[in-house]
Homo-oligomer: A and B are copies of this chain.
Amino acid sequence: MSVLPQHVARSALASLGGAAGAVRFASVGDLPLENGGVLPDVVLAYETWGTLNADASNAVLVHHALTGSSHVARGDTDVAGWWDTLVGPGRPLDTDEVFVVSINMVGGCYGSTGPSSLAPDGRPWGSRFPQITLRDAANAEKRLAEALGIDVFSLVMGGSMGGARALEWAVTHPEAVQRCAVLAIGASSTAEQIAWAQPQLLAIRNDPDFADGNYYDGPAPSAGLGIARRIAHITYRSEAELGARFGRKAQAGEDPFSGTNAARGRYAVESYLDHKATSLAARFDANSYIVLSDALMSHDVARGRGGLEQALAGVSAEFLVAAVTSDRLYLPEQSFELAAALPGDVPVHLIDAAIGHDGFLTEMDQLGALLDAHVFGR
Contact = CB atoms under 8 A, between A and B. Distances in A.
Interface stretch (A11-19, A122-130, A316-324, A357-365): A122-130
A207 B246 CA distance: 28
Given A206-B208, A206-B223, A207-B206, A196 B131 contact: no
Interface in A125-177: 127-133
A213 B213 CA distance: 26
Given A131-B257, A239-B331, A234 B267 contact: no
A31 interface: no
A172 to B, nearest CB: 16
B199 A267 contact: no
A360 to B, nearest CB: 19
Contacts of A258: 35, 131
A188 B298 contact: no
Given A131-B260, A206-B227, A264-B131, A248 B199 contact: no
A101 to B, nearest CB: 27
Nearest to A127: B262
A9 B33 CA distance: 54
Interface residues of A, number: 65
B195 A273 contact: yes
A124 to B, nearest CB: 13
A259 B39 CA distance: 12
Copies per complex of this chain: 2
A195 B290 contact: no
A208 B210 CA distance: 11
Contact of A242 (B191, B207, B234): B191
A285 interface: no
A97 interface: no
A6 interface: no
List 4 A-B pairs, minimum CB-CB distance, nearest first: A35-B259, A191-B242, A191-B246, A199-B230
23 contacts: A33-B259, A115-B261, A127-B261, A127-B262, A129-B261, A131-B260, A131-B261, A131-B264, A190-B247, A191-B242, A191-B246, A191-B268, A192-B239, A192-B242, A194-B270, A195-B234, A195-B269, A199-B203, A206-B208, A227-B227, A256-B298, A261-B291, A261-B294
Interface of A: 33-37, 115, 127-133, 188-192, 194-196, 198-199, 202-203, 206-208, 212-213, 223-224, 226-227, 230-231, 234, 239, 242-243, 245-248, 256-262, 264, 267-270, 273, 290-291, 294, 297-298, 300, 328, 331
